Chains A and B, each alone.
Chain A
Amino acid sequence: MSSDSETSDAPDPSRIVAGADVLAADVLVGGPARAALDHVRSHSWLDLVASDHLLDDAEAVIAELADDELADDWRDRIERERVSVEHPPGDQPALASAYRGDAAHVLSFDDELGSVETAARLQGRIAMSVRHPKAFDAVFDAASLYDAVVGGEYPGPDRDPRE
Chain B
Amino acid sequence: MGLKGQCAPVERQAGGRLKHPSDGRTTLVGPSGSAPFLWRRRLDETMTWAELFDRAERWDVDEEDVTDALARQREADADE
Contacts and interface: CB of A to CB of B under 8 A. Distances in A.
Q: How large is the interface on A (under 10, 10 to 19, 20 to 34, 35 or more residues)?
A: 20 to 34
A163 interface: yes
Q: How large is the interface on B (under 10, 10 to 19, 20 to 34, 35 or more residues)?
A: 20 to 34
Contacts of B49: 41, 77, 161-163
Main secondary structure, interface of A, reads helix
A28 B66 contact: yes
B48 A73 contact: no
B46 A65 contact: no
A70 B26 CA distance: 10
Main secondary structure, interface of B, reads helix
A28 B70 contact: no
Interface in A43-64: 57, 60-61, 64
Interface of A: 20-21, 24-25, 27-31, 33-34, 41, 57, 60-61, 64-66, 69-70, 72-74, 76-77, 80, 109-110, 161-163
- Cβ-closest 9 pairs across A and B: A162-B50, A28-B61, A76-B46, A77-B46, A61-B69, A25-B66, A66-B59, A24-B66, A73-B47
